[in-house]
Amino acid sequence: MAGNRKQLRDLRRRKDEADNAFMDLARRLIASSQRAELVASSTPLQIRFQEMQLLRTDYHTKETEYEGLEVDLDQLEEDSNRLEIRFFRTLAMADITTDNTKEHDVQAKAEAQESAGMRSMLMGILPDRPSVEPSVEVHPLWSDLSDAIAEMNIAQEEVDDILSYREELTYNLGLKERTNRTVSATELERLRNFRADEPVQLARLEEATTRVRELYKRCMAEAAPHEDPPYHIAFALGLPTDDEIILDDSTSDTEETFFYRRHPALLSQPHHLLRREPLTVLSNLKQVAKSHMNTVDRGDQMRAAFKEYEISCILRDTKAMNKTDYINRWLLQYLRISPLQVEILATIFTNSTHLKIVDTKRWELDVLFQWWKDEAAIRSVESISKSALTATVDSSAHPPNDGFSFLA
């Protein structure tokens, strides 16, 4: 309804512009006409013209009053919708709190009996708790702040829509200008409307942002402040949260390095590539071996250099005419040079075993130790060839539904 009224006001404005243009032309025509040419018709024409002006003046006065009432009605509708949403939200929270307080104790006791004797790291996600404790009441200012943040987000979305649509329209107009194509009057009218709507939406966004800041200050001064404010409030105000992911590495701004803080024992760390002299893994190992025995970190350097040399020699040590060993070594080498593959392997391990990796270094060493004991690693070429041949015959007789087949 509000959108229809806005369109109606725009149409009225355009009609008034056309009427004003016509009236200006009529005034100039009457003023420039010779009195001798209007002897017979000047009196009726002037009378009709004056009557039309009076009627237009009365009409525009009433229409202006009506449009003001429409604007007030739109504001009242927004306030009514906001109050209605707040009412149903409060009602729903009251129902949820009442139901959860009755069932929570029984559910907690039953789950405590079922989980007796289980390891704490295998218990998984804890039972759901009511989002609002029965004894805790939310101050009305915090509810007002949540509503203000919602309005600010809506205003931000409208500004983003206007800017993106105007950018698209400007690009299309520029493209037509470069290709010597005619720009339609509709596109020019839309561009003018955008220029008129943009300041309005920006002012609305600024007003909503100011209201959010003022309400937050009032909440901290008058209401009971949250120890940890809700995520949507903290995110809107730019406050730090526990859910933030820090992607910046503290060492990236000071020095170049290939050091991976996660899984350093499993992943390759070719620091020698960043030195002035272009060293290979073998020459790096020889250089570290020739270093002085009393060097403080000589042992760590030797272990790191030997690890890089071992990773580089994984494929070179493949057994002759053994495709299984070659594939297994290629997968291991790809794993040790790709942090993403290590993260995927850790995620698969956690999801499949439902265990939490507590000692990361021990898990990395177990991966390297168990890699060569895997069933796929020790199977012979003949057994794999027989299974592949059997799978090929079966697939030719009964093709798979999805069109894919994988080795076990």
Question: Is residue 259 pLDDT above 60, yes or no?
Answer: no
What's the pLDDT score for residue 312?
84
Residue 127 lies in a domain: no
What one-character-per-residue DSSP string does 299-358 give? HHHHHHHHHHHHHHTTTTTPPTT-HHHHHHHHHHHHHHT-HHHHHHHHHHHHHHH-----
Phi, psi of 135 (to 5 degrees): -85, -5
Per-residue pLDDT tens digits for 66-87 = 878 888 888 888 888 888 888 8
Residue carrying the six token digits 């270093």: 291
Please answer whether residues 315 and 329 qualify as being in contact, where contact means their C-beta atoms are separated by less than 8 angstroms. yes
Please answer whether residues 218 and 224 qualify as being in contact, where contact means their C-beta atoms are separated by less than 8 angstroms. no
* 282 plus 225 within the same structural domain: no
Tokens of 264: 């350093």
What average pLDDT does range 260-288 have in this prediction?
76
Q: What are the residues whose beta carbons fall under 8 Å from the beta carbon of 269, sequence distance 6 or more? A: 258, 259, 260, 304, 307, 308
Domain count, the chain: 3
What's the pLDDT score for residue 112?
58
What's the pLDDT score for residue 113?
57
Task: State the pLDDT confidence band at 30, using cuts at 50, 70 and 90.
Answer: low
Measured from the Cβ of residue 194, the count of other Cβ atoms closer than 10 Å reads 17
What's the pLDDT score for residue 194?
75
| Crossing angle for the helix pair 339-353 and 360-371, to the nearest 10 degrees | 90
Phi, psi of 3 (to 5 degrees): -65, -40
Question: Is residue 115 pLDDT above 80, yes or no?
Answer: no
Residue 311 lies in a domain: yes
What's the pLDDT score for residue 377?
62
Position with higher pLDDT, 256 vs 93: 93
Position with higher pLDDT, 225 vs 352: 352
Residue 404 lies in a domain: no
Per-residue pLDDT tens digits for 275-315 = 777 578 788 888 888 887 777 777 888 888 888 888 888 88
Can you tell me the distance from the alpha carbon of 234 to that of 231, in angstroms, rounded to the nearest whole number?
Answer: 5
What's the pLDDT score for residue 185?
79
What's the pLDDT score for residue 163?
81
What's the pLDDT score for residue 18?
74
* 289 plus 384 within the same structural domain: yes
* 22 plus 63 within the same structural domain: yes
Residue carrying the six token digits 């959010």: 212
State which amino acid sits at residue 83: L
The pairs formed by 198-203 with CB atoms below 8 angstroms and a separation of 24 or more are 198/159, 198/162, 198/163, 198/166, 201/155, 201/158, 201/159, 201/162, 202/159
Task: State the pLDDT confidence band at 395, using cuts at 50, 70 and 90.
Answer: very low
Lowest-confidence range among 202-216, 304-318, 382-396? 382-396
Of the candidates 187, 341, 327, the one whose C-alpha atom is nearest the C-alpha of residue 263 is 341
Can you tell me the distance from the alpha carbon of 366 to that of 368, in angstroms, rounded to the nearest whole number?
Answer: 5
Please answer whether residues 388 and 327 qualify as being in contact, where contact means their C-beta atoms are separated by less than 8 angstroms. no
* 279 plus 226 within the same structural domain: no
Question: Quick one: 131 exposed, middle or buried, by C-beta within 10 A (0-12, 13-18, 19+)?
Answer: exposed
Residue 91 lies in a domain: yes
Task: State the pLDDT confidence band at 212, using cuts at 50, 70 and 90.
Answer: confident
What's the pLDDT score for residue 57?
77
* 82 plus 145 within the same structural domain: no
Half-sphere exposure (Cβ direction) of 401: Cα atoms closer than 13 Å: 0
Residue 403 lies in a domain: no
Max mean pLDDT among 94-108, 238-252, 311-325, 332-346 falls in: 332-346
What average pLDDT does range 238-253 have in this prediction?
54
Tokens of 79: 């306030």
Residue 309 lies in a domain: yes
Residue 402 lies in a domain: no
- This prediction has a pTM of 0.33
Q: Please report, for residues 42, 52, 215, the alpha-carbon distance to residue 27 in angstroms, rounded to integers and kept in the order given.
A: 13, 13, 55
What's the pLDDT score for residue 398?
45
Please answer whether residues 236 and 152 qualify as being in contact, where contact means their C-beta atoms are separated by less than 8 angstroms. yes
Question: Is residue 401 pLDDT above 70, yes or no?
Answer: no
Residue 103 lies in a domain: no
Burial 353-372 (b: 16+ CB within 10 A, else e): eeeeeeeeeebbeebeeeee
Please answer whether residues 326 and 318 qualify as being in contact, where contact means their C-beta atoms are separated by less than 8 angstroms. yes
What's the pLDDT score for residue 121?
47
Q: Is 297 left (phi over 0), alpha (psi -120 to 50) or beta?
A: alpha
* 191 plus 81 within the same structural domain: no
Can you tell me the distance from the alpha carbon of 84 to that of 78, in angstroms, rounded to the nearest whole number?
Answer: 10
* 383 plus 307 within the same structural domain: yes
Tokens of 379: 């199977």
Task: State the pLDDT confidence band at 320, using cuts at 50, 70 and 90.
Answer: confident
* 281 plus 385 within the same structural domain: yes
Per 3-state DSSP, the chain is made up of helix, strand and coil in percentages (nearest 5) of 70, 0, 30
Please answer whether residues 112 and 347 qualify as being in contact, where contact means their C-beta atoms are separated by less than 8 angstroms. no
Per-residue pLDDT tens digits for 323-358 = 888 888 888 888 888 888 888 988 998 888 888 888
* 8 plus 66 within the same structural domain: yes
Lowest-confidence range among 159-173, 255-269, 345-359? 255-269
* 189 plus 302 within the same structural domain: no
Question: Is residue 242 pLDDT above 70, yes or no?
Answer: no
* 144 plus 190 within the same structural domain: yes
State which amino acid sits at residue 254: T
Measured from the Cβ of residue 151, the count of other Cβ atoms closer than 10 Å reads 19
User: What is the average pLDDT value for the chain, to the nearest integer?
Assistant: 72
- If you ran DSSP here, which 8-state letter would residue 291 be given? S
Task: State the pLDDT confidence band at 261, using cuts at 50, 70 and 90.
Answer: low
| Crossing angle for the helix pair 323-336 and 339-353, to the nearest 10 degrees | 100
Question: Is residue 61 pLDDT above 60, yes or no?
Answer: yes
Residue 62 domain boundaries:
1-33+42-95
What average pLDDT does range 97-125 have in this prediction?
55
Task: State the pLDDT confidence band at 100, using cuts at 50, 70 and 90.
Answer: low
Lowest-confidence range among 4-18, 130-144, 357-371? 130-144
Q: Please report, for residues 131, 143, 364, the alpha-carbon distance to residue 137 in angstroms, rounded to integers and kept in the order given.
A: 12, 11, 49
What average pLDDT does range 189-204 have in this prediction?
80
